[in-house]
A and B are shown apart, each in its own frame.
Chain A
Amino acid sequence: MSWLLDIKYAFRLLIKAPKFTALTLVVLIGGLSLSLFTFSFLYAIVYKPLPLPEGDTVYRVFGNHNGHRHANVAYEILQAMQQEDVFSEYGIWQDTSVRLSINDAGKTIPASFVQPNMFSFSRTEPIMGRTINQEDLRTDAEKVVVLSHTVWQNDFNQDPNIVGKNIRINETVTTVIGVMPKNYNFPIVSKLWLPLPQQLQNIQPSSKQQYPIYARLNHNISLKQAEQQLSDAANSIYQLTYKQYDKEEGELSIELASFPIAQTDRDGSIVFTFFNLIALSILILACINVGNLLLARAIERQKEIAIRAALGAPQKRLTLQLMWEGIIITLLGGVLSVLLVGALLSTTDSIIKSALPNNIPFWWNWELDAPTLLMAIVFTLLTIFLASFIPAWRSANQDINATLRDGTRGAQSKKAGKLSRMLVTFQIFLISTLLLMGSVSAFIAYFLLNVDFGVNYDRTYLASFNLQKQEYPTEQQQRNFIQGLLTELEQSPQITNTFSYFFIGQSTLKIQTEKDINTLPKKIKTFSIIGKGDFYRAELLQGRHLSISDNENAQRVVLVSQSMVERYWPDEMVLGKTIDVMLNQQEQTFTIVGVVANLADGSSFYSDKISEDEMHLSGLQFSSSYPRIIYKYHDNEQEAEEYFYQSLFKFNRNLEPNRLEPASYSSDMMKNIAVIVAWITFGSAGFALLLALTGIYGLTANSVVQRTHEIGVRRAVGATDRNIIQLFLKHGSKQLMIGMGAGMMVFSVIAIAFQSFTENMIPPLLYVALITVVVTLLSVIVMLAIYLPTRKAVKLEPSAALRYE
């Protein structure tokens, strides 16, 4: 039981040095909590299997057409899925949002149209009543709905007799048939489930609609195999039929992604890796610091260890003896970190969920789960290895002779000095990389916060629709609906402006040169609008607005963006000019009647407003079944929203907007996330900087102290204070150069990747400026960390320095 004695001894040592113990604990808890929290938070978003029975076999199925996901090829995918036996179950759904009316008030709730098998697919039984069945799908069936636990609890006070009652959804009387258990929101954020409408059940080959698909992979097939089989099948169907149904040419492939991965749109794993690497580097910094603190204590005990070794204590025993202190303190730090991270996770969970009640996928649950605990163990073991084992092993491995022989400072201190220099270099490397990346992310956050979309979001709402072919077969009917709704909305004193727009596609410009006619490669985003959108975006700069007289029978007209004028006709009068445009593979001629302000490129946050061109056509000449309606309210948001629904239901009781939300919603979300990420990055970078500072200072101070004797010798033979300080600074600058050089190399690689990721948003000069600032800052810090202890050591009389052990 000798190790019990060792543990006791280690405990006593720790208690006897409360300052050391507290400092070490703070550093440990900081490093461990940060990496654990980062891991757990991101793991829950990106990799955690769905919280459903056999959640790991659940996938979403995407078509990948010419490199774009979300290709509108539901028919081909479903055909392929029927042909190939790779899924045990699958189905489609459609997300929507519905208006739930309770007495006179109403609220908008995320919902899904689903197939009956969705509930069994997710292996979940209702806590009351039943789920949707085949009968409910019939057009003439009674309208039914399944409630989520949240709706049942918040809007119906957990009414135990709710099943069978009638409620109003989109102003339609609907019967509640069941209630699902708590936290069930499959497929993503649904709070209500409605039967999939008839017209969605039979997807035609001509359909260009997009349907989300859920599927469970068979156990006997691998992901890659399944993707291959499905891709082959779907592609052969596509190649036979795409011309017939007027679809774009190209290869079709099929991709499977877990729900979390699909939700983060592939950036998830990049973000996960990136932030975990940063957190891990910070943990390593913490380990170096703790290791250094423990090593300093081990050095104090060097003589004791040498005597023990001389008396015959075996190597293993000595290592372990030295390690106990570190092990005890790391375990303690590990346990405290787990408790802290647990508290942080549950706070984060409740803050995020109360801030965004309708937008959090149901699998985003932050808590101390098994993977987090497992990771806590891994991180703790890593810390023990880096911070306790290595220093202890080194001390126990010392040259006994060298330590016992008095006055001889041999290879031992030389080795220790080398290690400490390497650690300083490594810390400089880590912190310079972290600082550089931190400042780039700060810049991006700043940019995102101040990004100008060319849109005035003030008091505006956005509604988007999906007008079904069955109900609105002709373009005229679609236009009538939109125009009617806009006119109706404007009747309300609460609504001041309205307009509608939709994205038609990318078009290209044909330009006549002296020799021949060229189609310019640059794509132009082409919208179609009804009404005056000035109040919201694309302010009129020259010419006139589009009006109701720009209809099917009139000449085709266009408003072009300022950027186009500057690009193609810088010195010309553009009003009245005619241009030839390739739009949806058709050539058409338009007359420019106005010039409008530029828009930001919606496909990317980073690109400049002027880098993209836009054209706005008349919605009465080009229509779409996916219109968006923007309205601006006077002062009462609620009233305006209520009025919107009333107006809508006047036209169509069965039509509900896919979404209705403040127009700024998406950009606000993005900005909020940017702010949160910026703060987390800032906090972590600050902590890392603190760790690196204390670490670098500790190491250099320590190595200066260890070289006190050498300083004495040098001074005895005539070195001045300046000589000594210069010598140490020179050695330090070598480490600085190597560390920062390596840091900048890594950073350059990251910066190049970053540049392509952000589409060259950051001017290269900024990188130079950042590097200059970071290099100067770090140089000053490191030089001070060397200068201060050296000056102190130099102040000692040489005779005292020579006596120094």
Chain B
Amino acid sequence: MTALIQLKNISKHFVTDEVETHAVNQINLSITQGEYLALSGPSGCGKSTLLSLLGLLDSPSEGTYHLTGLDASSLNRNERAKIRNEKVGFVFQSFNLISDLTVAENVMLPLTYQKGLSKQTMMDKVNDVLQQVEMSHRTRHFPSQLSGGQQQRVAVARALVNDPAFILADEPTGNLDSKNAEAVMQLLNSLHQKGSTIVMVTHDPRSAECASRQVEMLDGQIIRDSLITQTAAPISAAI
């Protein structure tokens, strides 16, 4: 199987007040289609930075990044935007819904940046993914009128609406209570089961158990990378 994502000697340095932080340091990683990767490690070890690099939200300081065979460093701003739009779905810890837009509008947002979609097609897709996350009864609400768990489910719907090649989730359950967290985890699980590629940052070992592969980081480097061959049992069984 060809690698969907291929990182070679990727590094990201930040310089603030003349202090250099190696948030990501010489990482090699390849991810294949259909994998469900759980990324863990102590706070500040570079997980979110790595995710940003994967999602083209940031550019690496060194190294090469191949995405579906394309060299990411050769892409201009517009091409990168197009890839984020068509191939990547993001789920953030803090939801990052736009407060001025309704649930439906938030979910539709990625589609509005694609060309040639009719209003009806967009609405159909939106309704479809909202159904998947069981939020179709709240389309006209504003994010501030939803609970945290509901907001995150909307965020997941937004990540799914454009049929992305892979989903990047940065601590999607970090701001949620265990019940809501479980619902979101099941959502991701079922997506994986349907064949989605997922990279998820998590601190929670139980969440990580659902994944097909576990990667652990420390100080910007990968210290453990283990494949779990068997499909994990549903999370409810673990509790």
Question: A residues near B, CB below 8 A?
Answer: 406-411, 413-414, 417, 709-710, 712-723, 797-800, 802
Contacts and interface: CB of A to CB of B under 8 A. Distances in A.
Contacts of B88: 718
Size category of the B interface is: 20 to 34
Given A414-B100, A715-B57, 10 more contacts: A408-B94, A713-B98, A716-B84, A717-B90, A717-B113, A718-B113, A718-B162, A720-B78, A721-B81, A798-B84
Given A411-B99, A716-B55, A721 B77 contact: yes
B57 A799 contact: yes
30 contacts: A406-B94, A408-B94, A410-B99, A411-B99, A411-B144, A413-B99, A414-B100, A417-B100, A709-B96, A712-B96, A713-B96, A715-B57, A716-B84, A717-B84, A717-B85, A717-B109, A717-B113, A718-B82, A718-B86, A718-B88, A718-B113, A718-B162, A721-B81, A722-B78, A723-B113, A797-B58, A798-B57, A798-B84, A799-B52, A802-B96
A714 B101 CA distance: 12
Nearest to A800: B58
A153 B222 CA distance: 100
Interface string B14-56: 0000000000000000000000000000000000010010010
B81 A718 contact: yes
B186 interface: no
- Residue of A709, A710, A716, A798 with most chain B CB atoms under a 10 A cut-off: A716
Contacts of B109: 714, 717
A149 B162 CA distance: 92
B99 A414 contact: yes
A358 B208 CA distance: 97
B158 interface: yes
Contacts, number: 77
B77 A718 contact: no
Interface string B111-136: 00110000000000000000000000
A717 B93 CA distance: 15
A107 to B, nearest CB: 76
B110 A717 contact: yes
Given A408-B94, A713-B96, A802-B96, A718 B110 contact: yes
A797 B60 CA distance: 12
A413 B81 CA distance: 27
A802 B97 CA distance: 11
A710 B90 contact: no
Q: Which are the 4 A-B pairs with shortest beta-carbon distances?
A: A718-B85, A407-B94, A799-B52, A799-B58
B102 interface: no
Contacts of B65: none
A606 B127 CA distance: 68
Interface in B69-87: 77-78, 81-82, 84-86
Contacts of B96: 709, 712-713, 716, 802
B166 interface: no
A800 to B, nearest CB: 8
A685 B98 CA distance: 40
B57 A716 contact: yes
A408 B78 CA distance: 29
Nearest to B161: A717
Contacts of B59: 797
A800 B59 CA distance: 11
B113 A719 contact: yes
A307 to B, nearest CB: 21
Given A410-B144, A721-B78, A715 B84 contact: yes
A723 B93 CA distance: 25
A715 B78 CA distance: 10
A802 B90 CA distance: 12
Looking at chain A's contact residues, the main secondary structure is helix
Given A407-B94, A713-B96, A798-B57, A718 B52 contact: no
Contacts of B99: 409-411, 413-414
Contacts of A410: 99, 144
Given A715-B84, A716-B90, A710 B98 contact: yes
A799 B14 CA distance: 13
Contacts of A802: 57, 92, 96
A707 to B, nearest CB: 9
A602 B114 CA distance: 70
Nearest to A715: B81
A633 B109 CA distance: 84
A722 B76 CA distance: 13
A407 B158 CA distance: 19
A409 B97 CA distance: 9
- Residue of A712, A714, A722 with most chain B CB atoms under a 10 A cut-off: A714
A713 B99 CA distance: 11
B98 A720 contact: no
Contacts of B90: 716-717
A721 B79 CA distance: 11
Given A410-B99, A717-B109, A798 B82 contact: no
A407 B99 CA distance: 12
Contacts of A723: 81, 113
A407 B52 CA distance: 18
Contacts of A721: 77-78, 81
Contacts of A716: 55, 57, 84, 90, 96
- Residue of B77, B81, B162 with most chain A CB atoms under a 10 A cut-off: B81
Contacts of B58: 797-800
Nearest to A709: B96
B51 to A, nearest CB: 9
Contacts of A799: 49, 52, 57-58
Contacts of B100: 414, 417, 710
Interface in B144-190: 144, 158, 162, 175
Contacts of A718: 81-82, 84-86, 88, 110, 113-114, 162
- Residue of A408, A718, A797, A799 with most chain B CB atoms under a 10 A cut-off: A718
A255 B128 CA distance: 81
Given A713-B96, A713-B98, A720 B144 contact: no
A722 B78 CA distance: 9
A380 to B, nearest CB: 38
Contacts of B158: 717
- Residue of B86, B88, B92, B113 with most chain A CB atoms under a 10 A cut-off: B113
A717 B86 CA distance: 9
Interface in B172-227: 175
A164 B59 CA distance: 102
A699 B81 CA distance: 29
A718 B94 CA distance: 19
A414 B142 CA distance: 12
Contacts of A407: 93-94, 175
Contacts of A715: 57, 81, 84
B57 A720 contact: no
Contacts of B57: 715-716, 797-799, 802
Nearest to B48: A799
A720 to B, nearest CB: 4
Contacts of A411: 99, 144
Contacts of A798: 52, 57-58, 84
A720 B81 contact: yes
A797 B94 CA distance: 18
A411 B99 CA distance: 7
Contacts of B162: 718
B84 to A, nearest CB: 5
Contacts of B77: 720-721
A726 to B, nearest CB: 11
Contacts of B98: 710, 713-714
A334 B167 CA distance: 60
A716 B162 CA distance: 13
- Residue of B49, B55, B82, B84 with most chain A CB atoms under a 10 A cut-off: B84
- Residue of A407, A411, A720 with most chain B CB atoms under a 10 A cut-off: A720
Contacts of A408: 94
A721 B113 CA distance: 11
Nearest to A797: B58
